[in-house]
Amino acid sequence: MQRRDFLARTGGLLATTWGAGSVWWPLTRRALAGESSVTGNKILVMVVLQGGNDGLNTVVPYNDPAYVAKRPVLKLPGAQVLDLDMGTTGLHPSLAPLLPIWNQGRLGIIRDVGYPYMNLSHFRATDIMFSGSSSEDVVSTGWMARWLESLYPGFPEALPAEPMALQQGFSAGLVLNGNRGTTGVVVDNPVTFYNIVNNNYTGGFTDPVSQTPGGEELDYLRSIDQQSFQYAGVIQDAADDGINYVPYPNSKLAGQLAIVAQLIDGQMDTPLYLTAQTGYDTHGSQLQTHADLLSDLAGALAAFVADLDAMGRADDVLVLTVSEFGRRPAENGSAGTDHGTSAPWFLIGQGISGGLIGTSPNLAGLDGSGNLPIQADYRSVYGTILTGWMGTAPSVVNDVLFGSFPSLPFLDVTGVPEAPPVNVTHLFAPTPNPGRGQRVFRFQLGAGGGARLRVFDISGRHVATLSEAYLPAGNHEVRWNPDGLAMGTYIVTLDAGGERRTAKLVVR
């Protein structure tokens, strides 16, 4: 693919909010040849199946009498499915392009992925899946963003020398929203992106800023804007240097994955790429719609894997498909399926232990709403990938996912060393923010010593002292309810080691 084709098939960099205003998140490229990324060149490519994929007609228990009984119209006969285990489970026939990958042991299928008390609203379920939280907690940061911030402790003051993340195909804001800012670029607007990379940039600032707090903020925004222009060339260079070695189907998902492959071949080793395919909310006339979706998915994934093989990067890339929930086991009166709980997730990679992970869905043990029980907590999937693929220390993974979850047997998680002691001090933005009710204040100390966490109003008047103690180096957390405060903006300060860090607190 040439540069002009790349531009035509991508969108632009979506403006995201950090600090006081709307800024471009800048992206850089590792300039020193041969220098590996912070993840040792390991890459995760996530494919989001938006709408809630029907798991039972994707990985089909075709010989289960309960499956046949619950789906008089939608059942897939055993003669049509692609058998995986000699008589009980098969793939939807539209997934035939994935069968060679399965036969090579490079495809893993995690059955019945979900979490306790699953939420079946598209928006809320998507937020839960991307925040890495439970159904009871409302979290304003994404698990991937928190993980990326652990890789780049100096972000955003010290910009990373490697792209952090690239998101295509959907614009869910929570995904890359971290405690310290937006941790990636969202490809969204083709006109903006085209103008940046074709030197139509108009941000040559020559007028001085005023010597006021507002002037300081403007100067900061200008510097980020100028850096954005500089870093847009990184994507352009990678697109120029990389090629696709195989043809891709003509579909939106295939186009996204072709771009990912091209950038990987162009040595833009960002550790995280996100893509998406829409249309899985199949409440009616599901048979043909679902078959078309899975055909699109399989064709795009098969081309992507072949491309990685041809460029010699298959050992470095793991693909994960996710969906916010599954569908109900019983079909509805419109020849479709309604929102359900757990569903299978796919893994494709050279270094995984492929095969079926978990047992056949328990159609005789549905819950009170007629939905499937879960077998694997979705955070176990994330945690296993972070530890076993990315080499992230278990304690860091526990911080990212707000707890410890059992690892799954598709990767070896033993032998991953613990993280070295932190050597920087940070104060993260409170969560949730803005809002009301209890807030969580997290901070990181580079060295042990006295630390004082306080809140001031915008006039500089002291409002509250949240913590004042001698603390060891590492991560710390304080919970406080500011509901007694008037609505407005407040400043949180952390004084430690002779330095001060600040964050904004918004009370509604």
Phi, psi dihedrals of residue 494, rounded to the nearest 5°: -120, 120
Rounded to a whole number of angstroms, the distance between the first and last alpha carbons of the chain is 49
The average confidence (pLDDT) of the chain is 84
220: pLDDT confidence band, cut at 50, 70 and 90? Answer: very low
- Count the residues in the chain: 508
pLDDT at 46 over 90: yes
| Eight-state DSSP code of residue 490 | E
Number of C-beta neighbours around residue 478 at 10 A: 14
pLDDT at 223 over 70: no
Lowest mean pLDDT among 255-269, 307-321, 378-392: 255-269
* Integer Cα distance of 73 and 79 in angstroms: 16
**Full DSSP string of 426-441:** EEPPPBS-SBSS-EEE
* Integer Cα distance of 88 and 66 in angstroms: 13
pLDDT-above-70 percentage for the chain = 81
* Integer Cα distance of 249 and 375 in angstroms: 34
State the burial class of residue 186 (Cβ atoms within 10 Å of its Cβ: 0-12, 13-18, 19+): buried
Lowest mean pLDDT among 51-55, 73-77, 86-90, 302-306: 86-90
Contact yes or no for 439/479 (Cβ under 8 A) = yes
pLDDT at 204: 54
pLDDT at 243 over 50: yes
Give the three-class secondary structure for 502. Answer: strand
Give the three-class secondary structure for 43. Answer: strand
Residue 326 makes CB contacts below 8 A (sequence gap 6+) with 52, 53, 54, 55, 56, 114, 340, 341, 342, 343, 372
pLDDT at 159: 64
* Integer Cα distance of 152 and 144 in angstroms: 12
Lowest mean pLDDT among 164-168, 324-328, 370-374: 164-168
Contact yes or no for 508/500 (Cβ under 8 A) = no
185: pLDDT confidence band, cut at 50, 70 and 90? Answer: confident
State the burial class of residue 293 (Cβ atoms within 10 Å of its Cβ: 0-12, 13-18, 19+): buried
User: What's the predicted TM-score (pTM) here?
Assistant: 0.78
pLDDT at 22: 28
39: pLDDT confidence band, cut at 50, 70 and 90? Answer: confident
Contact yes or no for 422/474 (Cβ under 8 A) = yes
Which element (helix H / strand E) includes 318? Answer: strand 317-322
Take residue 241 and report the two structure tokens written for it: 């240097």
Contact yes or no for 266/238 (Cβ under 8 A) = yes
**Full DSSP string of 250-304:** SSHHHHHHHHHHHHHHTT---SEEEEEE------SSHHHHHHHHHHHHHHHHHHH
421: pLDDT confidence band, cut at 50, 70 and 90? Answer: low
For 76-219, strand residue ranges (E) read 82-83, 90-91, 107-114, 166-167, 185-186
Q: For the chain, list the domains and their CATH numbers.
A: 3-196+230-400 (3.40.720.10), 426-507 (2.60.40.1930)
Give the three-class secondary structure for 363. Answer: coil
5: pLDDT confidence band, cut at 50, 70 and 90? Answer: low
pLDDT at 29 over 70: no
Residue 54 makes CB contacts below 8 A (sequence gap 6+) with 280, 282, 286, 290, 326, 327, 337, 343
* Integer Cα distance of 241 and 31 in angstroms: 14
- The one-letter amino acid at 427: L
Nearest to 164 by CA among 180, 150, 183: 183
Residue 121 makes CB contacts below 8 A (sequence gap 6+) with none
* Integer Cα distance of 46 and 66 in angstroms: 32
Once rounded to an integer, what is the mean pLDDT over residues 471-477? 85
411: pLDDT confidence band, cut at 50, 70 and 90? Answer: very high
> pLDDT by residue (tens digit) across 259-312?
999 989 999 878 999 999 999 999 999 999 999 999 999 999 999 999 999 999
Query: Which one has a higher pLDDT value, 85 or 34?
Result: 85
